[in-house]
């Protein structure tokens, strides 16, 4: 079994991972970064990013991530393609096994593996990705000003997305599979009291349609019941509000997570309960999930890694 010893291992290549690599490289930590399943992270599936500082005209998601990668490489980051498949954080140096069988023994580890948005599993979600389908209202809502959108889900996430979009869109449909909302009472009241939001209870989205982007959703009311009703609802945007799954499974034996799987860190820091192991970006952030907040936490993680190594 091939092993390699490194000062700083970064797992993941979204804004958190690349920013950590920039800072760790400038601190002469010779960081090794493994890009993971989706090199560049979730932003590579976003066509236009308008809210990342420094790009007044906006920039494509893949282009932004390519810029960050080049910047990390400029400062000496060793960027590799591969996926971490198991971890042993029982003692330093920490051992991370990659999908090619190689074991990296690292004195510090920055976990920036992100989170994966949950989808309904419809073929049309892939067909219209970046063309009217989104899993982030804060990221993409701006493009739907004064237009009609739909949000799928009945929990707090969906209600938050619908409420946010109501400040931009002319009309928001909330498509809820059950005859009730699972969201907290406060979020429910916010939705019910909003004249722009219409809740469609007992509805299932079964497909989307449109020529050059989403123009509507195929709905089924009371699916499987005697009074089942199928109809099409014209919309301009289709938002998933059914949550995210943090990519934290291999670290759960060693680190504390919440009930969803987000890695728990010391408040205000990227420090986990294992000294020298840090979590940055969406894998530890159930609240904001933005490129800029992920980048900020990647910066914090690299600075913490540098300080940890100096203290040893």
Residue pair 285/111 in contact (Cβ under 8 Å)? The answer is no
Catalytically annotated residue among 8, 124, 139, 282: 139
> Which residues are within 8 A (CB) of 178 and not within 5 positions of it... i.e. 6 or more apart?
154, 201, 202
Question: Which residues are registered as beta bridge partners of 233?
Answer: 217
Could you give the angle at the alpha carbon of 8 between the alpha carbons of 45 and 2, nearest 5°?
A: 95
What's the full length of the chain, in residues? 312
Place of tokens 């400062």: 75
Question: What sign does the dihedral 43-45-49-55 (CA atoms) show?
Answer: positive
Catalytically annotated residue among 8, 124, 140, 299: 140
What is the C-alpha to C-alpha distance for residues 155 and 109, in angstroms, rounded to an integer? 34
What is the C-alpha to C-alpha distance for residues 266 and 247, in angstroms, rounded to an integer? 19
What is the C-alpha to C-alpha distance for residues 137 and 201, in angstroms, rounded to an integer? 21
Residue pair 228/213 in contact (Cβ under 8 Å)? The answer is no
> 40: which DSSP letter?
T
User: Is 227 annotated as catalytic?
Assistant: no
User: Is 124 annotated as catalytic?
Assistant: no
Token pair for 129: 């990705």
User: Is 136 annotated as catalytic?
Assistant: yes
Catalytically annotated residue among 78, 88, 99, 136: 136
DSSP 3-state of 277: strand
Greatest distance between any 2 Cα atoms in the chain: 69
Token pair for 150: 């739909």
Active-site positions? 136, 139-140
């Amino acid at each position: 079994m091939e092993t390699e010893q490194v000062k700083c291992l970064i797992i993941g290549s979204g804004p958190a991972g690349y920013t950590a690599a920039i800072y760790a490289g400038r601190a002469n930590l010779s960081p090794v970064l493994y890009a993971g399943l989706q090199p560049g992270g979730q932003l590579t599936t976003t066509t236009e990013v308008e809210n990342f500082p420094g790009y007044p005209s906006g920039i494509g998601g893949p282009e932004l991530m390519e810029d960050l990668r080049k910047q990390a490489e400029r400062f000496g980051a060793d960027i590799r393609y591969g996926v971490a498949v198991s971890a042993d954080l029982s003692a330093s140096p920490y051992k991370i096994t990659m999908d090619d069988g190689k074991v990296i023994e690292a004195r510090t580890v920055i976990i920036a593996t992100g989170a994966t948005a949950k989808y309904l599993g419809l073929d049309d979600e892939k067909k219209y990705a970046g063309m009217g389908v989104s899993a982030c209202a804060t990221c993409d809502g701006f493009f739907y000003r004064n237009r009609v959108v739909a949000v799928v889900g009945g929990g707090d996430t969906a209600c938050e997305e619908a409420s946010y979009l109501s400040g931009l869109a002319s009309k928001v449909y909330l498509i809820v599979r059950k005859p009730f909302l699972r969201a907290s009472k406060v979020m429910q009241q916010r939705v019910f009291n909003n004249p722009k939001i219409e809740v469609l209870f007992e509805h299932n989205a079964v497909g989307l349609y449109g020529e050059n982007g989403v123009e509507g959703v195929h709905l089924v009311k009371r699916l499987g019941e005697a009074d089942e009703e199928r109809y099409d609802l014209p919309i301009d945007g289709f938002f998933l509000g059914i949550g995210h799954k943090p990519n934290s499974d291999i670290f759960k034996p060693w680190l504390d997570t919440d009930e969803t799987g987000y890695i728990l860190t010391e408040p205000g820091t990227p420090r986990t309960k294992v000294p020298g192991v840090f979590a940055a970006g969406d894998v530890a952030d159930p609240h904001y999930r933005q490129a800029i907040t992920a980048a900020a936490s990647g910066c914090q993680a690299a600075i913490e890694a540098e300080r940890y190594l100096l203290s040893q």
